[in-house]
């Protein structure tokens, strides 16, 4: 049989025309219930079933995505329509996470023809080396492959061979077999067969290569730059993401390509609590050696609010910021605070964990903030103002939760039990906290601020610190804050 007849021949295997399949050195019936789920289906088949089932059970098929109900609905609609999705929006708001969440709807493993470079389905081989196996052999060896999610990063230097791959007719004429490694090397697009092909930063791909994607998005096939159609009808789901066109290294996406995609904007988190949850879920600090650290709610709110103020143009300080930090800034901010807690031998966050002159907070923001060109202030001063504004807002909320009828008693308790009488500063040391934790007033006050376990001395100390700090901001005529210490006025 000549080369072209193998190249373009379509092979479909049924139960009646099946060769002998061998998996892990054993003959298997791939139509048996044990194996039937893992072949003969497209990625869209698996995903569509999840979407339809979720509508019946009212369940969320994208639990990794916090909030974004509108975006989830649009994604499900586009997927059921077999459309190519283009996620758009600022960097760091979850475009890639959305793509991975869609990939999580695929089976964790699939049956594939052994040694196939593009993960061929046992019942519908599309690569010529696998077709040749079916024509030459009565036994076909199979293997398990993991879930397929291939990221193609936008790169101005990306070339056709990297994207598509290459077939060497010369090697065939030299006598190389069709399954010889030198005959065909699949590109990244072909390696996504039976999975998801995700173009990260589509706008950074050269416009000359964007033209090659028209066929991929519409006909699930690709033509090489020499004009040869790659005879693989790909069984993959394609999606892409791009930053706004004013980003460095981002080119406008050609209109004919845009016309083949459904654009879904991915916006920043809707509110403070959503971003706190997102940041906590993606922290590196969730690893074992940091798992016992506690960033209490009041510090979570202060830290993440810093990021949100930087984005909110209602604040005068944010108008001086051209490029605000994304959710990655939120995540790294919590991570760096956690790291400093370890260095300070703290299990619970205190203001001292923000670093001298808030240097730990600034570490997370320096490289993620770009100032307006007309701004004369330094990044250091802008970040200081963001921190001050965030602390002020959070402390006002805490102060307003202190019951009026208990306020005077609380101040008296501080004077009696926490005051260093020699230097007149409030001493929130573990030794002093242990003395007062069983006083009835303490749980009465603390329960109004946060639902925490006040038996944890360090957590109680952190809560008392933020209450005292809130009083120093809202009623400075009673408590003042200076040189990292709190002083009660006479």
Q: Tell me the CATH number at 285.
A: 1.10.8.80
Residues 163 and 291 in one domain: no
Residues 36 and 106 in one domain: yes
The residue out of 232, 265, 298 marking a domain boundary is 265
Half-sphere exposure of 265 (CA within 13 A, CB side): 6
**196-252 pLDDT tens trace:** 999 998 888 888 788 778 877 777 777 655 555 666 778 899 999 998 755 555 667
pLDDT at position 182: 61
Q: State pTM to two decimals.
A: 0.85
Residues 329 and 203 in one domain: no
**102-133 pLDDT tens trace:** 999 999 999 999 988 899 999 999 887 888 88
The DSSP bridge partners found for residue 167 are 184
Residues 248 and 283 in one domain: no
CA distances from 153 to 74, 221, 484 (A): 24, 20, 47
Residues 112 and 258 in one domain: yes
User: What residue numbers bound the domain in which 345 lies?
Assistant: 272-399
pLDDT at position 4: 59
Total domains in the chain come to: 3
Q: Which residues contact 365 (CB under 8 A, 6 or more apart)?
A: 306, 310, 325, 329, 333, 379, 383, 386
> Quick one: CA torsion of 241, 243, 244, 246, rounded to 10 degrees?
-140
Residues 247 and 276 in one domain: no
pLDDT at position 179: 56
Residues 412 and 322 in one domain: no
Count other C-beta atoms under 10 Å from residue 4's C-beta. 10
The residue out of 265, 289, 310 marking a domain boundary is 265
Residues 59 and 152 in one domain: yes
Residues 334 and 429 in one domain: no
Count other C-beta atoms under 10 Å from residue 390's C-beta. 22
In the predicted model, residues of the chain with pLDDT beneath 70 are 1-8, 166-183, 223-231, 245-251, 285-291
Residues 261 and 276 in one domain: no
**42-55 pLDDT tens trace:** 999 999 999 999 99
The residue out of 219, 245, 265 marking a domain boundary is 265
Residues 34 and 146 in one domain: yes
Residues 314 and 281 in one domain: yes
pLDDT at position 241: 94
């Amino acid at each position: 049989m000549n080369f072209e007849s193998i190249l373009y021949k379509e092979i479909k295997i049924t139960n009646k025309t099946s060769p002998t399949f061998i998996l892990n050195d054993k003959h298997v019936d791939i139509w048996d219930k044990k194996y039937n789920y893992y072949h003969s289906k497209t990625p869209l088949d698996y995903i569509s079933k999840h979407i339809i089932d979720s509508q019946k059970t009212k369940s969320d098929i994208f639990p990794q995505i916090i909030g974004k109900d509108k975006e989830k609905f649009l994604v499900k609609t586009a997927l059921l329509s077999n459309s190519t999705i283009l996620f758009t929006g600022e960097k760091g708001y979850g475009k890639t996470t959305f793509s991975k969440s869609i990939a999580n709807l695929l089976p964790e493993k699939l049956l594939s023809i052994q040694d196939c470079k593009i993960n061929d389905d046992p019942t519908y081989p599309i690569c010529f080396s696998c077709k040749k196996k079916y024509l030459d052999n009565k036994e076909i060896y199979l293997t398990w492959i993991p879930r397929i999610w291939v990221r193609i990063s936008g790169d101005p230097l990306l070339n056709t061979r990297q994207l598509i791959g290459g077939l060497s007719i010369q090697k065939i004429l030299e006598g190389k077999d069709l399954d010889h490694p030198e005959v065909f090397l699949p590109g990244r697009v072909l390696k996504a067969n039976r999975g998801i092909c995700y173009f990260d930063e589509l706008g950074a791909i050269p416009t000359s290569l964007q033209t090659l994607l028209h066929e991929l998005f519409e006909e699930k096939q690709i033509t090489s730059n020499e004009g040869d159609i790659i005879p693989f009808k790909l069984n993959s789901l394609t999606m892409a993401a791009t930053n706004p066109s004013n980003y460095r290294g981002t080119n406008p996406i050609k209109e004919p390509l845009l016309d083949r995609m459904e654009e879904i904007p991915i916006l920043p988190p809707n509110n403070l609590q959503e971003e706190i949850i997102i940041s906590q879920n993606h922290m590196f600090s969730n690893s074992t050696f940091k798992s016992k650290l506690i960033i209490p709610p009041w510090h979570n709110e202060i830290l993440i609010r810093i990021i949100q103020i930087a984005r909110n143009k209602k604040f005068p300080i944010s108008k001086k910021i051209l490029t605000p930090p994304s959710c990655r800034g939120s995540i790294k901010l919590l991570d760096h605070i956690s790291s400093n807690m370890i260095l300070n031998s703290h299990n619970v966050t205190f203001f001292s964990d923000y670093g001298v002159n808030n240097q730990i907070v600034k570490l997370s923001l320096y490289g993620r903030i770009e100032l307006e060109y007309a701004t004369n202030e330094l990044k250091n001063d802008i970040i200081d103002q963001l921190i001050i504004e965030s602390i002020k807002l959070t402390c006002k909320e805490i102060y307003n939760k202190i019951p009026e009828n208990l306020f005077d008693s609380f101040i008296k308790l501080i004077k009696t039990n926490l005051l260093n009488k020699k230097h007149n500063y409030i001493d929130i040391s573990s030794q002093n906290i242990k003395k007062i934790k069983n006083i009835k007033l303490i749980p009465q006050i603390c329960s109004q601020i946060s639902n925490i376990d006040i038996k944890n001395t360090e957590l109680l100390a952190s809560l008392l610190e933020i209450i005292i700090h809130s009083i120093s901001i809202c009623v400075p005529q009673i408590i003042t804050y200076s040189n990292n210490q709190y002083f009660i006025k006479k």
